[in-house]
Structure 1
Amino acid sequence: MEVLASAQIQRLIVIEKPIDTAQYKHPRNSKTSTRVAVTRKLLEKMPHSDTFAWNKLIQTHIANAHFDNALSTYHQMLLRGVRPDRHTLPRILSASRLSVDLPLGKQLHGHALKLGCSDDGYVVAALIELYGRLHSVDAAKGLFDKSPVKDSVSWTMLARLYIMEGKPGMALHVFDGMVESGAQIDPVALATAAGACGMLKSVIDGKKVHRVAKERGLEFDVLVSNTLLKMYMDCGCFDDARSVFDQMPSKDVISWTGMIHANLKRGGFNEGLKLFRQMIADGAKPDSLSVSSVLPACARMSASKQGKEIHGYLIRNGIRMNLTVLNALMDMYVKSGFIESASKIFAGLKDKDVVSWTVMILGYSLHGQGQLGVNLFRQMEDSSIQIDEITYAAVLRACVAALMVEEGKFYFNCIKTPAVAHSVLLVTLLSRYGLFDDAKNFIADKKIEGDAEVLRALLDGCRIHEQSKLGKRVIEQLCDLEPLNADNYVLLSNWYAHYAKWDMVEELRGTIIDMGLKTKKAYTWMELRNKVHVFGTGDVSHPRSQGIYGELQGLMLKMEDEGHRRDSDFSFHDVDEERECIPIGHSEMLAISFGLISTQAGSTIRVTKNLRVCRNCHDSAKIISQMVGREIILKDPNCFHHFKDGYCSCGDFW
């Protein structure tokens, strides 16, 4: 390695302003002192002419974020007459950039000019990044334009700077120039260009980049394939994304996670779980991102078995569970009906963020334990965690579950800028408590009469407190607000049916048909021995239908013998088919009966329904839980109903 002549050293160190490393030094402590001492010993033993060794030491300091030591080492290198090379300057320019010191970077730029390295591709790229990040992209572009050497690294760096500045169109313009110049196109350049297309959601430009990748034989480079996959997903082209994924000869965890996320985003929860299992079978080790991506699928499907298997896999394989994963696990357990498991994870967290608290507060409210949710929120208030609007929504929901009106009003008033969702929750709370005048006054005061969700919240209270006239007016308002929503006509039809106004029922049915609207179909499912059993209203397709109906009929007869009467009020129910089917044929009752005849006595039965459980089935499930001595957990869109010993956790407010 070349040693600098004495005159050259003087030009770099004496005539130039010496590099002031003192400003970068860490506060004095034992660890810092030890590190400095070790560095001094290394410098004392460092061969005077071994540039590689000096570069290695500088890189080690940078990798450990010890930028002061990196700069000090560079200074010592110059003092000893060791000539920096094309690998030294990019490293030390990186240290000045990470130290956010543009003047120092400019001084190092001067060093590069005097050493004759300023036209080296690596040095140019480092200077472009320095000026682009600490000054402006225009300054970086000016340097790039003046540089006689434009290689793949400098082209790509300029494009990346435009992306970081939120100008993906300019980044693509740079990439086009790179292609036209004949510069070597590498995977990083293609990945950068594909990322810009994704930001622009321009599939036309994306396909051009894809074509360039094919022409250069880089289509199946893992980095390129992964970014093309993401680009197509960002552009909403799922089939193209799937095609890229299926053609990849080798996939890493990023590939699998990207495809899993794409499926989940479009509602393909089963396929997402299937891909996760395939990823493990393929030998790819899931990371925190892939795990936290797939767990919501388990939550959405109430697929507790798969969720537990994933949790077990993480433990068995020693995969580090960061807070994101632990929060996702809590959310999965909450939404799969295992609030106790979620609570145990929460209690074991050393550090909690706003998501941790919010998941548990919401979890308690979903499971009818609103008081615990409010208590937890009070603990959160005593912590240093910043409470956001989502957390306020969670505690409002907890107040709804516990019917804590005054607390709900107080927390609502704590929100700086309440969203409509917060108002909906307060209307729900007031109307469920029977404070209809307060609810109507609040709606008028906030001028939210025209919001359908607000009206549905008011209707919720009408259903619970049997406010027939007010309820009918609300339904009619909903029909006016959402003339293409079949659910509103079903509500009105059920109201007329309750009062035996069959001519109006037929008229509304004709309206639904004439307008080409589709009404909701109710179904309930239960997971048993790795299989999901789905039941529709009046379903007789299940292989065990005879036993299912036989069990139900026996239970209903026993209920009648004990004096229990069925509630035939469907006036505010939102499913047409269930009104016309005897309650014994409702999907949730079929699923519960299947659970009773298919599982061990005394075990908990868990079922999920896609629509709100009707009042008759709700009452029947309470009684059945007492008759058979088993807990029945039924999840509907509103909450988890824990039926046990003749009671429900929702307190009959759902």
Structure 2
Amino acid sequence: MPPPSFASMDAFYLHLLRSCAALPHVASVHAHIARAHPGASLFLRNSLLAAYCRLGGPLPAARLLDEMPRRNSVSFNLLIDAYSRAGHADHSLETFARARAAGVKADRFTYAAALAACSRAGDVRTGKVVHALAVLEGLANGVFLSNSLISMYARCGEMDHARRVFDIADEHDDVSWNSLLSGYVRAGAHEEMLKVFTLMCRHGMGWNSFALGSVIKCFSSGVDIAGHTAEAVHGCVVKAGLDTDVFLASAMIDMYAKKGTLSNAVALFKSVQDPNVIVFNAMIAGFCRDEAGVGKEVTREAMNLYSELLSRGMQPTEFTFSCVLRACNLAGEFEFGKQIHGQLIKHSLQGDDYIGSALIDLYSNSGCMEDGYRCFRSPYRQDIVTWTSMISGFVQNELFEKALRLFQEFLCYGLKPDLFTISSVMNACASLAVARTGEQIQCLATKSGFNRFTVMGNSCIHMYARSGDVDAATLRFQEMESCDVVSWSAVISSHAQHGCARDALHVFNEMMDAKVIPNEITFLGVLTACSHGGLVDEGLRYYDIMNKEYGLAPTIKHCTCVVDLLGRAGRLGDAEAFIRDSVFHDDPVVWRSLLASCRIHGDIERAQLVAYRIMELEPTSSASYVILYNMYLDAGELSLASKTRDLMKARGVKKEPGLSWIELKSGVHSFVAGDKSHPESDAIYTKLSEMLFKIEKLASTGNASTESNDISSREQNLVGCHSEKLAVAFGMIHLPQSAPIRVMKNLRVCCDCHSTMKLISGSENREIILRDAIRFHHFRGGACSCGDYW
């Protein structure tokens, strides 16, 4: 029997190579060829090389190429492509250089493989060299290679070169247009992308799913388009016959939802015949988009859709759970959210950072901070998103000290805060009025490069203003490179809260000159300034301007400011009429403001009616009972005062305890009335007694103001030691003479304490800054910045 021919042996081995499913099989065939068929053709050797590239990667293929007695462009093309696909772009380009050095004539596939390597490596410089060589070979203008050049330049961000290649190419096909379109999308050149998209429509060119997906994603996230343009893109998808593509369907649902046309998104979702979990995710996310301005009822549809997803037997993904938790937050469906939490535990997904963050938000919004904290501690891996959510949750629930402690722990782990983290912590510092801590965080923000951001400057203004340092707040505002309406509003409110009414109005006029449009917060600051400064006519004028010139509807806070403005000026009848004519006539907040004014002016008869009105609207709030009780005491109506106190007991109403705190180098020190739990309690009471004795001595010699006689007659009340007096005494002990004493209080300062602070500031020659629930009081030289108008 004659020996088999070379052609038959080649065919036999080619059949074996095609059947190989693993690298060892290829190696076995290779060994057999080496022994039995040393004269294998170049075609068979290239086939063996292709099998190595397919199953073993570029390294065994490179060894085979080195052993081959003959090599052609196909041999090198295979290895160039293998290196490129494996991510070794440098080796790929080295192989391309070897081919040229070996005198192998490169073809269009060689150049295409080299360009693909340049594209993956982002090496536009080498790509230009390959482009030049292709031009010299006369291959650059062909549609196959021009498409590779367009793709390479687009992926490297050189869209000008990509467009030049496109324009000079001999012909274009669908790939050419789609590559150019995708390149503009990737580069964020939205206007050019729209032009190319329009030209493709005019030339009747087809679109692929990748290019259309890129366009839709671009429209969803960055391009400001009208609704009809979104429908036009949808029409192109249908025209291209890709309307059954679930990837494009989910992208279009997301696009419609982000553009606020939920009805179109829902209609498209219902038209998908066999939606998968990605399509469901897009629709669930669409129901809880802020951009769509959805309400609670619409958000609940996301939860219904989630239930449908489960009923179809689909497996929810991490994105599904995070979207549903967001929907629960927006709709206030916290019980449903807890059920989702149980399913997360079942699927072992509670360790995902974004899901963990959503769970923390859920429990923070529902006030269940212990559960939120357990969610925070449970994941094995915690990133900055999770930490920031927990810190923000503490701030949201007014657990400011816990927020600061957690932030300190955050830094101890070596984590780097982002802008939102620092902004949340600054809000905690503002609420606690701990300026020293706030200054340290500001230094950290500056070191991290966040200080240049407007939102950071706004947080600093708010922190300094709430800490009693209006000068530092103003200076930070002046240092800002870019100020927005929040910046201006914060400075106006800062001056207003500190009793600097004219300064607040001056800043507002500067804001108008700067052509910055005021918002509701701006006018709230202006009205507060007018109220605290007794500027009745100006306040009423600004209230009219807000509504008539700027179209801003007054909120309950604006109306309360007007009531306070009129009430403090003694126009109690006008204030009451204003309440009855407003849409907030059933809100206890505005009536409580009027009640406070009734006490200032001693109008007991009106105060009784107002107090009973508040008790009807808010029977468990202590504020109205306390004000009425104190008014009866001031008027000598002890029996009525006793009845009011008995009514509080009968209704189970408890007065909120007064709490004051002061920040020193050693930390924050808190006090309540008659507090003796502080380690330095004996020294504090001794210092307080010394200061009160000094006041009484000045009163007896006639060297104090007439208010000292009033204080002396109420010595028993003074010895009661309200919390702010203890905090001031503690500050006197530890702070140097030149340092102002900054004390914060959760309630409104009483008349006795206000008078005492004035006298202490004069007798001790110290500046005292007191922040109560309403405003700041700066006591200097026996007088207060409020001018006793508070």
TM-score, normalised on structure 1?
0.81
2:599–2:607 CA contact under 8 A, matched in 1: no
Q: 1:372 — aligned with what? A: 503
1:602–1:629 CA contact under 8 A, matched in 2: no
Q: Which moved more, 1:627-636 or 1:88-97?
A: 88-97
Report the 3-state secondary structure (helix = DSSP H, G, I; strand = E; otherwise coil) of the residue aligned with 1:267: coil
Q: 2:84 — aligned with what? A: none
Query: 1:52-63, aligned counterparts within 5 Å?
Result: 58-63=181-186
- Note the residue ranges of structure 1 that are not aligned, 5 or more in a row: 4-33, 572-577
Q: Which moved more, 1:215-224 or 1:99-108?
A: 99-108
- How many angstroms does 1:105 deviate by? 2.2
Query: 1:373-392, aligned counterparts within 5 Å?
Result: 373-392=504-523
Q: Does 1:513 align with 2:649?
A: yes
1:547 to 683, 693, 712: 683
Q: Does 1:90 align with 2:221?
A: no
Report the residue type matching 2:272 in the other structure. F
- How many angstroms does 1:313 deviate by? 0.9
Q: 1:6 — aligned with what? A: none
Q: Does 1:342 align with 2:478?
A: no
Q: Does 1:529 align with 2:665?
A: yes
Q: 1:590 — aligned with what? A: 726
RMSD of aligned alpha carbons: 4.0
Report the residue type matching 1:220 in the other structure. G
Distance 1:559 1:651 in 2: 20
Q: Does 1:66 align with 2:199?
A: no
CA 456–89 in structure 1, closer or farther in 2 if over 3 Å, else same: closer
Q: 2:538 — aligned with what? A: 407
Q: 2:484 — aligned with what? A: 353
Report the residue type matching 2:264 in the other structure. S
Q: 1:397 — aligned with what? A: 528
Q: 2:251 — aligned with what? A: 126
Deviations 1:249-274 (A, max 9, x none): 11222212222222222221221222
- How many angstroms does 1:55 deviate by? 6.8
CA 638–180 in structure 1, closer or farther in 2 if over 3 Å, else same: closer
Q: 2:708 — aligned with what? A: 566
Report the 3-state secondary structure (helix = DSSP H, G, I; strand = E; otherwise coil) of the residue aligned with 1:585: coil
CA 584–323 in structure 1, closer or farther in 2 if over 3 Å, else same: same
Report the residue type matching 1:526 in the other structure. I
Q: Which has the higher contact order (CA 8 A, sep 6+)?
A: 1
- How many angstroms does 1:369 deviate by? 0.8
- How many angstroms does 1:505 deviate by? 4.2
CA 47–120 in structure 1, closer or farther in 2 if over 3 Å, else same: farther
2:269 to 132, 136, 141: 141
Q: Which moved more, 1:642-651 or 1:419-428?
A: 419-428
1:128–1:144 CA contact under 8 A, matched in 2: no
Q: Which moved more, 1:555-564 or 1:360-369?
A: 555-564
Distance 1:428 1:177 in 2: 53
Distance 1:333 1:47 in 2: 67
Q: 1:276 — aligned with what? A: 407
2:599–2:627 CA contact under 8 A, matched in 1: no
1:246 to 377, 383, 390: 377
CA 400–503 in structure 1, closer or farther in 2 if over 3 Å, else same: closer
Q: Which moved more, 1:214-223 or 1:48-57?
A: 48-57
1:631 to 746, 767, 785: 767
Report the residue type matching 2:775 in the other structure. C
Report the 3-state secondary structure (helix = DSSP H, G, I; strand = E; otherwise coil) of the residue aligned with 1:562: helix
Distance 1:87 1:225 in 2: 32
- How many angstroms does 1:459 deviate by? 4.6
Query: 1:196-211, aligned counterparts within 5 Å?
Result: 196-211=327-342
2:164 to 41, 50, 75: 41
Q: Does 1:297 align with 2:428?
A: yes
- How many angstroms does 1:460 deviate by? 4.1
Distance 1:557 1:390 in 2: 45
Query: 1:311-322, aligned counterparts within 5 Å?
Result: 311-319=442-450, 321-322=452-453
Q: Which moved more, 1:191-200 or 1:250-259?
A: 191-200
Q: 1:478 — aligned with what? A: 611
Report the residue type matching 1:304 in the other structure. A
Deviations 1:180-229 (A, max 9, x none): 54545432223223333333433454345444444444332223322333
Distance 1:592 1:536 in 2: 12
Q: Which moved more, 1:46-55 or 1:165-174?
A: 46-55
CA 421–118 in structure 1, closer or farther in 2 if over 3 Å, else same: closer
Q: 1:155 — aligned with what? A: 280
User: Matched residue pairs, number?
Assistant: 609
TM-score, normalised on structure 2?
0.68
CA 431–499 in structure 1, closer or farther in 2 if over 3 Å, else same: closer
Report the residue type matching 2:492 in the other structure. I
Distance 1:506 1:95 in 2: 70
1:552–1:584 CA contact under 8 A, matched in 2: no
Distance 2:741 2:645 in 1: 36
Q: Which moved more, 1:256-265 or 1:197-206?
A: 197-206
Report the 3-state secondary structure (helix = DSSP H, G, I; strand = E; otherwise coil) of the residue aligned with 1:582: helix
Distance 2:239 2:172 in 1: 19
- How many angstroms does 1:404 deviate by? 1.8
Report the residue type matching 2:607 in the other structure. V
1:498–1:570 CA contact under 8 A, matched in 2: no
Q: 1:229 — aligned with what? A: 360
Q: Does 1:192 align with 2:334?
A: no
Distance 1:264 1:481 in 2: 30
Report the residue type matching 2:460 in the other structure. L
- How many angstroms does 1:602 deviate by? 1.8
Report the 3-state secondary structure (helix = DSSP H, G, I; strand = E; otherwise coil) of the residue aligned with 1:581: helix
CA 591–78 in structure 1, closer or farther in 2 if over 3 Å, else same: closer
CA 175–379 in structure 1, closer or farther in 2 if over 3 Å, else same: same
Task: State the identity as a percent.
Answer: 28
- Note the residue ranges of structure 2 that are not aligned, 5 or more in a row: 1-80, 82-107, 110-156, 548-552
CA 172–531 in structure 1, closer or farther in 2 if over 3 Å, else same: same
Q: 1:286 — aligned with what? A: 417
Query: 1:393-472, aligned counterparts within 5 Å?
Result: 393-416=524-547, 417-436=553-572, 439=575, 452-464=588-600, 467-468=601-602, 470-471=603-604
Report the residue type matching 2:527 in the other structure. L
Distance 2:255 2:684 in 1: 72
- How many angstroms does 1:601 deviate by? 2.2
Report the residue type matching 2:211 in the other structure. T
Distance 1:213 1:43 in 2: 50
- How many angstroms does 1:478 deviate by? 0.5
Q: 2:739 — aligned with what? A: 603
Report the 3-state secondary structure (helix = DSSP H, G, I; strand = E; otherwise coil) of the residue aligned with 1:617: helix
